Each structure stands twice: as structure tokens, then as C-alpha cells.
Structure 1
Amino acid sequence: MRDIRERFWAKVSGPDERGCRNWTASLLTNGGGAFFVDGKTLPAGRVAYELEVGPIPAGMRVTRRCRNKLCVNPRHLVVTDHGWLGPIHHAHSTKREERRLT
């Protein structure tokens, strides 16, 4: 059986113009990537983070700086708590408001 890392990255496209590495296999109901390991379905972003960065502390989740649900580029992934909206979401909202005003 192939190594988990090799199997995972075989399901990812090369970087696009924004640097996103997009998941190309199964999807979760929320539109994010789904990866199967040991009979369990795991979010692809979590798997990418754990493979390339390290463990995710209990109670934390993986969010994407790029806001692309299919992106699994570890440079775009950040670990946050469930209530955190922080500067990533604020910056995105501000840009959306600016576009609406022009």
C-alpha cells in the first residue's frame, strides 16, 4: 500500500495563479476535500496540515487564508479556534465592502 503522504498529494493539483493547491478527489458535504484514512473520512485541509506542519491541538480547526475550500496548500492553512473570525475574514469583508462602494 502506498504511503499516506504519497496517496494524499496524488489527489492535489499544482499551484494555480493564487498559489492554491486544489483537492481533486472526493468532497465533503460542505464542499471541502475528503480524504479516507483507516476507514475514516477526514477533511483534506486537516490532513494536509498534519502531514506537512504537525498536529492540530484539540478543539482547533483548519482555516484557509485564501478562503478556497478546495485549497490544501500548507502555506495557506492556519489553525484557529471555532469562534475565531480574525483578520483573515475581516480583510475579506473589508475588500468586499470596498468593491460594493465603487
Structure 2
Amino acid sequence: MHARIFQEPKNAMQSGRARTQRWVLEFAPAEPRRADPLMGWAGSGDTQRQVKLTFPTLEAAKAYAEKEGIAAHIVPTPSRTLKLQSYADNFR
């Protein structure tokens, strides 16, 4: 089993940073999706794709993956860049 561990990003619809400190372990897809012949919806028999485990720290997520024998790839968190601009700059 392969998985990736990443820090949950901020939702585009929220202004605060709630729930962005959590780390998520998400399993990689084991088989590709295929179209259902009757409805045309995409699906697969892979139930691990639905599983998302959350952890308070990166170390806890790593420890769980090692304990369960899961090969985990850690995705580093991108650094935040702030564009500081004053309201008066809009009228220059």
C-alpha cells in the first residue's frame, strides 16, 4: 500500500486558518477508475481511496504509517507568501 501524508490546505471559501494544522494520510489509488456501462459514472472497486486519516502532528502520521507497514510519501507544506499592499496603492 502506498500513501501520501500532507498538511491540509486552507479552504478557498474561508478567511481563517481553522483545521489547517492537521496532517492527513491519504491512500494512493490501487486501480484506475472505469466508466459504469449503465450510468456512465466513473468508479472502481478500490475502497482505500475513500479513507482519509487525520493526525495532529506529522510525527504521529509517520508513526502510524510505520506501525501499519504503509509506504508513505511526505508532501512538504508550501511556504505562505503574503502580498502586503495598502489601500492607497489601488489609486496610484
> Would you say same fold, with TM above 0.5?
no
Q: Which is bigger in relative contact order (C-alpha 8 A, separation at least 6)?
A: 2
Tell me the TM-score normalised to structure 1 length.
0.24
Tell which structure's C-alpha radius of gyration is larger: 2
